[in-house]
Structure 1
Amino acid sequence: MASTRPGLVVTGLTVGALAVIGLLAFQADGAQTRALAAKPSASGSTGTSPSTTPTTGADQAPPQLPTTSGTGRRVVYSLGSHAVWLVDPKKTPPVQAAFRVTPGTADPTAGDYTVYSRTAAATGTDGIRIEHVVRFAQQNGTVFGFSAAVDAASASPAPTASPADPTKPRTGGIRSTRTDGQTLWDFAPSGTKVVVVP
């Protein structure tokens, strides 16, 4: 029977341990590199992370938060750019999410509002099944609020109605993707400020 020298066993165990440590260090370095690559840049124009990249409309990132969007914790909706920003100045970055939306056939008047009603699931005035409905205004018989169409194929509203064409329905639903709708729902309980800008 061949004998094994103790020095050879210790050397073998040491080499094996060093190989395991080297592998773990390599994996940890790769995980850190991936985490840094996924982190949003502080120089980004909207202050949003890749998870808030919109998938609505023309699949373009929303513009920078308007400077006239008010103060405090708020939902900002731009009539001109059809974009929404969820802003909490106590957090870094203050813009917690930003995404494009599809407006209804009527627009609310620019100004400050408050979320007054929320419904988890409903049918919109256009007959589309919607979820995460967050209402903030009623004007001239039209209710304005954010929501997401349950069926993505039904997300776009009817063509815009003109005041001279009363046969087309006036709808105030501002539609987002289901993911963005969930984000807005979680951010904006009743009483949350909504700022509508031109």
Structure 2
Amino acid sequence: MPARSSTIVTALTAAALAAVGVLGYQAAASAPDTLAPARKDGHHSAPKGPAEGSKDKTPRPAAVPEGSGEGKRVVYALGAKRVWLVGGDGKAVRSYRVAPSTVSPPVGTYAVTSRSVSVTGSDGKAIEHVVRFASVDGVVVGFSAAVDGSTPKPDPSKRTGGIRETRDDGKAMWEFAVRGVKVVVVS
């Protein structure tokens, strides 16, 4: 009798594992490729991207400002509150908006002087991917992303030099702007 019951238990276990495998496969096959956030009415919003039928799935970066130099560089436009990561071929590989701090560097060419994976910002927030490139009257200026994802409006009564990016943009800056990479500030 003991041999027979162990055979039954083995068969039932194998059947259960097979059923779980089939259900897992079905769930994976029916899951969407991207998880869009749910709207208030309970439906999922469609991913935003290029128009139907478009062959290029990557959004095109805004045009690199004229007179911003040559070669690999970061371009920071003060008035546009925008950054371009420009490859060695002079073409933007990424462009995005930033939230400037209360202290801005003068127009000119700089170089990345130091980097930190994570620190506390002068506003007390945990920040990551800090890329520093200038100092203005004792205030260090650089790009960073708040760990909580916020890009708060800086307190005008404090002199801070953190140019805030989203976490994704901060990661891209971190990978692109190693020590010594040129940073060009334009108006």
TM-score (normalizing by structure 2): 0.68
Secondary structure of the 1:170 match is coil
Alignment of 1:47-196 (within 5 A): 49-50=58-59, 63-90=62-89, 94-152=91-149, 154-159=150-155, 161=156, 168-196=157-185
Give runs of ≥4 in structure 1 deviating > 3 Å: none
Q: Deviations over 1:3-28 (max 9, x none)?
A: xxxxxxxxxxxxxxxxxxxxxxxxxx
| Whole-angstrom distance in 2 between the partners of 1:170 and 1:157 | 13
Q: Secondary structure at the match of 1:180?
A: helix
Does the 8 Å CA contact 2:103/2:136 hold for their aligned counterparts?
no
CA RMSD of aligned residues (A): 2.2
SS in 2 for 1:104: coil
Distance 1:121 1:38, change over 3 A: farther
Q: Matched residues in 2 for 1:71 and 1:129: separation?
A: 34
Matched residues, number = 137
Query: What TM-score do you get using the length of structure 1 for normalisation?
Result: 0.64
* 2-structure distance, mates of 1:80, 1:143: 20
Q: Which whole-Å deviations, capped at 9, do the CAs of 1:19-73 have from their partners, x for residues lacking one?
A: xxxxxxxxxxxxxxx9x73515xxxxxxxx32x7xxxxxxxxx752210211111
Distance 1:95 1:37 in 2: 20
For residues 64 and 96 of structure 1, what CA distance do their matches in structure 2 show? 10
Instruction: Quote the offset at 1:158 in angstroms.
Output: 2.2
Aligned amino acid, residue 89 of structure 1: G
Aligned amino acid, residue 56 of structure 2:
K
Report the residue type matching 1:125 in the other structure. S
Deviation per CA, 1:88-139: give whole Å up to 9, x if none.
1337xx1100000000011111100000100000011111110000000011
What letter corresponds to residue 71 of structure 2 in structure 1? G
Asked if structure 2 preserves the Cα contact closer than 8 Å seen for 1:118 and 1:133, the reply is yes
Task: Specify the SS of the correspondent of 2:172.
Answer: helix
Amino acid at match of 1:145: G
Alpha-carbon distance change, 95 to 127 in structure 1, aligned in 2, over 3 angstroms: same
For 2:107 and 2:55, locate their aligned partners in 1 and report how far apart those are by CA, in whole Å.
Answer: 36
Which residue identity does 2:137 align to in structure 1?
N
Q: Which runs of 5+ in 1 are unaligned?
A: 1-33, 41-48, 53-61, 162-167
**Secondary structure of the equivalent of 1:186?**
helix
